[in-house]
Structure 1
Amino acid sequence: MTGTDTDVHAEARPVEAIPGPKGLPLLGSMFELQQDSLGAFLRARRDHGDVVRISAGPPGLRTVVHGVFSAEGVQQVLATESANFRKDNPFYEEVRAAFGNGLLTSQDADYLRQRRLVQPLFTKRRVDGYADAIAQEAAAVTARWHGREGVDLIEEMSRLALRTVARILFGADVEAAVEVIHRSFPVINDYALNRAYAPVNLPREWPTPGNRRAMAAIGEVYAVCDRIIAERRAAPDGPVGDDLLTLLAQAGSEEDGSLDATEIRDQVLVFLLAGHETTATSMAFTLHLLARHPEERARAQREADEVLGERAPTAADLERLPYLTRVLKEGMRLYPAAPVVGRRAVADTEIGGYRIRAGSDVVVAPWVTHRNPDLWEDPERFDPERFTPERSAGRHRYAWFPFGGGPRACIGQHFSMLESVLALATLLRACDLEAADDAEVPVGAGITLQAKGPARVRLRPRA
């Protein structure tokens, strides 16, 4: 069983047993984690501190997780001691089985080779070249909104982000992929998540209704990706174009060779997952926050008006929109797209005065650390000014980590910031958004942050 009690004979100093919620006598915190894991982690930090031990499940099938919530502890797990915390837990095993062994899930030599091959595709100069596609897709949304009285931002931003990343990945083949991915990804996500947190799983090959439904969705996504990849590779002069798929097919070096068709598909699936759902989450919740805070919305609109006028945004405008960038960062603080990040320790480690044993499952949680009152004054309040240079100075690097950190930090963070800021500027310049109600959108932790209801806003065109 992972996550045994703390070793009280640590060499550095005496280490007490790791505190945590007791839960129910036989099931621990199982129901609490199933119903509201984000709330459970918040309460655990509030009641027990920055390193906690949470057990869930019946004896013999019990899972033990160690939550690490301080900025210093997060830095240890993701950066300074990252080699000791691997993606070997059930969550990543299920994501790997569903979406392949791309950058999100690969490890060791596979990961280093993939990173070296893919990194040149995500330089600032290369990513800035996608600004026109971002602007065009955002403008298409404003055109679709014309004449509508209201929309659900969760659905709308999911479509916008998917179309944008699919266009940048597939170029002219975007239409062939979008509907398949939009239909199939939710089925695959739910399947992987349910298996990751189930105490016992049936083999994927068994023809249960859930397995058959998931395998059909996975097969449909794989088929459309494989077809487009095969057509590119079969072109008489080789892959031609400036979309990411073509660049992946062309990527290679003497040291690392090139990516074969399966490896290209694995990277495409990771880009679709990470570049679609995370950015959609950031944009949807940021817009909903602005819809509930009219003064901040008006200030962001004034900035967009002054910088853009009537023209389409460009990559250079990212630096000219500092207030909107702060708004986005605050939205990502309150609603981080990856709210919980899991690892497994491979050696005994001391964090915050407690011994974490080898083999223990460990989670760091932006959802919790971003709300830590020791790091953020009045943490539940929406305040974009937290991210001014003056107020950011001296703040711990891992007080805010929506893109992770260390050697496995998100390779696409500049793309995500560019897409989000330019799209938000385009939408806010065209429309006033008012929240249909003042309630927060209920959320839960999936592979990414999952809205459990709509984020409805009323629309009013701006002059």
Structure 2
Amino acid sequence: MALGTNTGGAGAGTEVPALSGAPLLGSLHDLKSDSLGTYLRAQQRHGDVVRVSAGPPGIRADLYCVFSPEGVQQVLASEAANFRKDNAFYQEVRESFGNGLLTSQDEDYLRQRRLVQPLFTRRRVDGYAGAVAAETASVVTAWEEALDGIVDVSDEMTHLALRAVARILFGTDVEATADVVARCFPVITDYVLRRGYSPANIPRNWPTPGNRRAAAAMEELYGVCDRIIGQRRRAGADASGEDLLTLLAAARSSDDGGFDDGGFDDTELRDQVLIFLLAGHETTATSLCFALHLLARHPEQQDRAREEITRVLGDRPPQASDLERLPYLSRVVKEAMRLYPAAPVIGRKAVAATRIGGHAVPAGADVILAPWVTHRRPEHWPDPDRFDPDRFTPEAEAGRPRYAWFPFGGGPRACIGQHFSMLESVIALAMILRAYSFEAVDAEIPVSAGITLRTQGPARCRVRRLDTPRAE
């Protein structure tokens, strides 16, 4: 029987093997202390589909983890309608960051996608290259004052990615928003994580210190977004800006019959802005951070990337059209995304019983996909922990299953911003590597799975301006 066929329901498949855990709490401690290592261990011990149980009896959660590219394709693409964003984690994200493209479903999602899609065409996204280059130039200049020539590329790339996406979203209002987002987002994301992975939660309106801190952060963040949205609304047809918020405020969609279903109201517009801020800066910051740190640890690959940049660009600023002319640098970004996927874990809930890899997955099951694990399957990635950008030559990519690498998800809900993420990453890296050489100070960077992949400490590099003679 073909993989993924759900004829006969869950009973038609074999029982899913289970990862052993503690008698009372199962794998709860392991997931809290090292979820990525736990998922990797589950795959290495039990294969493509593994059940991981966590929590005390009565409120124990069973997670059905799917690690094979074929199983990932079933969940995200071929049977995507059967796997929804109905789990507790996505509900917490909705309540904090709104019902935007990342979290919406069904008709809400289809309508939002129709409205937003025209703003993310390749041609439109290429127009954002100048904003990325301008923000990167500021970082390049600021590093000249780095104490002892050492920078934390995790903090610096978070700052760069946030400034870039805020400039693209808000245009001249970037100064009014970037600081608020930088201050409020960590409070809100920590709150979402605590609640999303807890077996039980108290109501959000109870006046606990944690609830009050999160509510204050959300009030401040919502307030600055609502103020700028109001300004755009009042400007109306006279608005001449080309920032993404102005375009979103003016967006309209129609079905094949030509019926205009209207644009976003103010709450919907704020929801889209919050999701774009969340997904648009944390993911790219992760990719940039680890690309730089990996190159800092691998001087041969760093020199090869810099040679390509110098040969293609010379002294001129990079443009969107240079993306295809910098294939090795693009491969560096893809390999960084393989080893350190910004979304290391993806959750869904099964609507109906089905089979994955011949195993029975019941209706209502919480299904976990883990790019962190699938990106390390040795049958598709020999010596999987080795940094090798040439894994992404066209010939090598053609020889692997489609979902052996899926940092942007896939199927009908694939990330709408994937071209922007690649564009921003390549432009920023080209400008930074042309100006500085890198040497890793922190040899390894501990990470954990949050809403996005998180560094658990500094990612420091020693940088040297390339037009400055090396000190003897």
Q: Verify same fold: TM over 0.5.
A: yes
Q: Which residue of 1 aligns with 2:108?
A: 110
Deviation at 1:92, TM superposition (A): 0.2
Answering whether residue 309 of structure 2 is matched by residue 304 of structure 1, we say yes
Q: 1:321 is matched by which residue type in structure 2? A: L
Distance 1:99 1:11 in 2: 36
Q: Which residue of 2 aligns with 1:286?
A: 291
Superposed CA deviations along residues 407-448 of structure 1, whole A, max 9, x for unmatched, are 00000000000000000000000000100132x200000000
Distance 1:380 1:355 in 2: 31
Answering whether residue 187 of structure 2 is matched by residue 187 of structure 1, we say yes
Distance 1:368 1:238 in 2: 51
Q: Which residue of 2 aligns with 1:30?
A: 28
Partner-residue secondary structure (3-state), 1:258: coil
Partner-residue secondary structure (3-state), 1:201: coil
Is residue 55–residue 64 contact of structure 1 (8 Å, CA) maintained in 2? yes
Q: 2:178 is matched by which residue type in structure 1? A: V
Is residue 10–residue 362 contact of structure 2 (8 Å, CA) maintained in 1? no
Q: Which residue of 2 aligns with 1:337?
A: 342
Partner-residue secondary structure (3-state), 1:60: coil
Q: 2:445 is matched by which residue type in structure 1? A: V
Distance 1:12 1:223 in 2: 47
Q: 1:264 is matched by which residue type in structure 2? A: L
1:429 to 430, 434, 442: 434
Distance 2:8 2:33 in 1: 36
Partner-residue secondary structure (3-state), 2:235: coil
1:93 to 79, 91, 94: 91
Is residue 442–residue 459 contact of structure 2 (8 Å, CA) maintained in 1? no
Deviation at 1:239, TM superposition (A): 3.5
Distance 2:236 2:367 in 1: 50
Is residue 53–residue 66 contact of structure 1 (8 Å, CA) maintained in 2? yes
Answering whether residue 464 of structure 2 is matched by residue 460 of structure 1, we say yes
Distance 2:354 2:83 in 1: 10
Distance 1:21 1:32 in 2: 11
Q: Which residue of 1 aligns with 2:274?
A: 269
Partner-residue secondary structure (3-state), 1:380: coil
Deviation at 1:236, TM superposition (A): 5.8
Q: Which residue of 2 aligns with 1:350?
A: 355
Is residue 89–residue 196 contact of structure 2 (8 Å, CA) maintained in 1? yes
Deviation at 1:374, TM superposition (A): 1.8
Deviation at 1:390, TM superposition (A): 1.6
Deviation at 1:392, TM superposition (A): 1.4
Distance 1:416 1:45 in 2: 29
Q: Which residue of 2 aligns with 1:383?
A: 388
Deviation at 1:22, TM superposition (A): 1.6
Is residue 35–residue 449 contact of structure 2 (8 Å, CA) maintained in 1? yes
Deviation at 1:255, TM superposition (A): 3.1
Deviation at 1:61, TM superposition (A): 1.2
Distance 2:365 2:423 in 1: 37
Seen in structure 2, the aligned counterparts of structure 1 residues 85 and 427 have a Cα distance that, compared at 3 Å, is same
Deviation at 1:16, TM superposition (A): 2.5
* Aligned-residue RMSD, C-alpha: 1.4
Deviation at 1:278, TM superposition (A): 0.2
Distance 1:237 1:324 in 2: 41
Distance 1:391 1:210 in 2: 48
Q: Which residue of 2 aligns with 1:409?
A: 414
Q: Which residue of 1 aligns with 2:38?
A: 40
Deviation at 1:256, TM superposition (A): 2.3
Superposed CA deviations along residues 351-403 of structure 1, whole A, max 9, x for unmatched, are 00011111000011100000011221110000001001121122111000000
Is residue 70–residue 403 contact of structure 2 (8 Å, CA) maintained in 1? yes
Q: Which residue of 2 aligns with 1:52?
A: 50
Is residue 49–residue 64 contact of structure 2 (8 Å, CA) maintained in 1? yes
Is residue 10–residue 355 contact of structure 1 (8 Å, CA) maintained in 2? no
Q: Which runs of 5+ in 2 are unaligned?
A: 1-6, 254-258, 468-472
TM-score normalised according to structure 2 size: 0.95
Seen in structure 2, the aligned counterparts of structure 1 residues 231 and 11 have a Cα distance that, compared at 3 Å, is closer
Distance 2:10 2:350 in 1: 19
Q: Which residue of 1 aligns with 2:210?
A: 210
TM-score normalised according to structure 1 size: 0.97
The aligned runs of 1:231-250 (5 Å cut-off) are 231-235=231-235, 237-250=237-250
1:445 to 437, 449, 455: 449
Distance 1:77 1:437 in 2: 37
Deviation at 1:13, TM superposition (A): 9.0
Partner-residue secondary structure (3-state), 1:146: helix
Seen in structure 2, the aligned counterparts of structure 1 residues 232 and 14 have a Cα distance that, compared at 3 Å, is closer
Distance 2:129 2:26 in 1: 49
Deviation at 1:237, TM superposition (A): 3.7
Is residue 151–residue 460 contact of structure 2 (8 Å, CA) maintained in 1? yes
Q: Which residue of 1 aligns with 2:75?
A: 77
Distance 1:15 1:228 in 2: 54
Q: Which residue of 1 aligns with 2:470?
A: none
Is residue 41–residue 368 contact of structure 1 (8 Å, CA) maintained in 2? yes
Aligned residues: 455
Distance 1:381 1:448 in 2: 22
Is residue 232–residue 240 contact of structure 1 (8 Å, CA) maintained in 2? no
Is residue 167–residue 173 contact of structure 2 (8 Å, CA) maintained in 1? yes
Is residue 138–residue 423 contact of structure 1 (8 Å, CA) maintained in 2? yes
Answering whether residue 345 of structure 2 is matched by residue 327 of structure 1, we say no
Partner-residue secondary structure (3-state), 1:65: strand
Is residue 78–residue 406 contact of structure 1 (8 Å, CA) maintained in 2? yes
Distance 1:207 1:104 in 2: 29
2:124 to 120, 123, 126: 126
Is residue 239–residue 250 contact of structure 1 (8 Å, CA) maintained in 2? no
Identity over aligned pairs, percent: 67
Deviation at 1:15, TM superposition (A): 2.8
Deviation at 1:11, TM superposition (A): 6.9
Superposed CA deviations along residues 189-233 of structure 1, whole A, max 9, x for unmatched, are 000010011111110000000000000001110000000000110
Q: Which runs of 5+ in 1 are unaligned?
A: 1-8
Distance 1:54 1:113 in 2: 36
Superposed CA deviations along residues 229-257 of structure 1, whole A, max 9, x for unmatched, are 00110126444311000000000134321
Distance 2:10 2:84 in 1: 24
Deviation at 1:10, TM superposition (A): 4.6
Partner-residue secondary structure (3-state), 1:235: helix
Superposed CA deviations along residues 98-149 of structure 1, whole A, max 9, x for unmatched, are 0000000000000000000000000000000011111111111100001421
